[in-house]
Structure 1
């Protein structure tokens, strides 16, 4: 089986499965933290960053696996791996959407707390501390989203490059086949030309021999008639 970056398709698939399990566990912990007081400690944002990193890694692995399963020669195996890779990619996308929804819930919750604190006029003491914690967490979550977006763009760019390389490889193969056809045609044409040249030489010899024979016959006839 083809190898990409020193790993086989099967090894890349196993790595992606392990990352999916890790990401699923991280999402469950984030949901638990959002409904508990510990969500104010910043653990939720740290988990979100880690989960987004795992999801981006899974998407990169899917891009590598997508390039590998296309090189499998047998169609049944190729179709099987195509379904496996598509399943991994769909699960990763589902996790990313869940994480986005979790982020939106967290933002809404922080906004409600801020509005409540402003209404109560508690700009000092505990409310100020809470607001500062939520501001820090909001910045961390936003940073995580920006990092994830950059990773997704890099993954999309890598996938486009691999597709371009595959397209160029197909074009080179087609050009090679055409070149071989031309060479074969030239080889046949060369053989035909050599046959024609030999035939011309034979024809010339026959022509000259005929001319000499005619000349001899005419001379002999003239002498005989005298």
Structure 2
């Protein structure tokens, strides 16, 4: 009867341990599903609850180990020994899974912290790089402004020289026209002098002709008498 009473008490503890195992296994599976999700969310409350259930299972296993040893019948004792060992092994397996999950979660948190620090440093370096780029852009803009001013000055100087060249060409053309006019005037003077000389020659020829005519008429008149 004592063995049966002990077995009955052991059965109740065993049923409680099995219920805790089912709940702990479901909790571990939920944590792993959270981990494999896109967001990779964590549930500290669920992790704590699973850890508490596993700890309670280990406590129940210690109670069951004490109880099965008090069973008189060897066959019953061996049977309960295997059952208790199976519960303990499952609890150890769940504890190992929970520990691995906790380690992975801590590693993810550490990596997230490192990424945040790197991102912060990268943002600081990016701001520094952007500031350098801004200074270089301002310097390049200043160079472009200076280049534009030099270009405008060069174009202005070129335009002035072009005006001077045009004026020089006009002066040369005016000079050539003046020379042509002077040459024309000089030629006209030569022609006038030639005409005057011809007029004088014609006058002399006319007078000589008149004189010769008078002389011829006189001699003819004398000869006819």
Give the TM-score normalised by structure 2: 0.49
Bigger relative contact order (CA 8 A; separation at least 6)? 1
Give the TM-score normalised by structure 1: 0.49
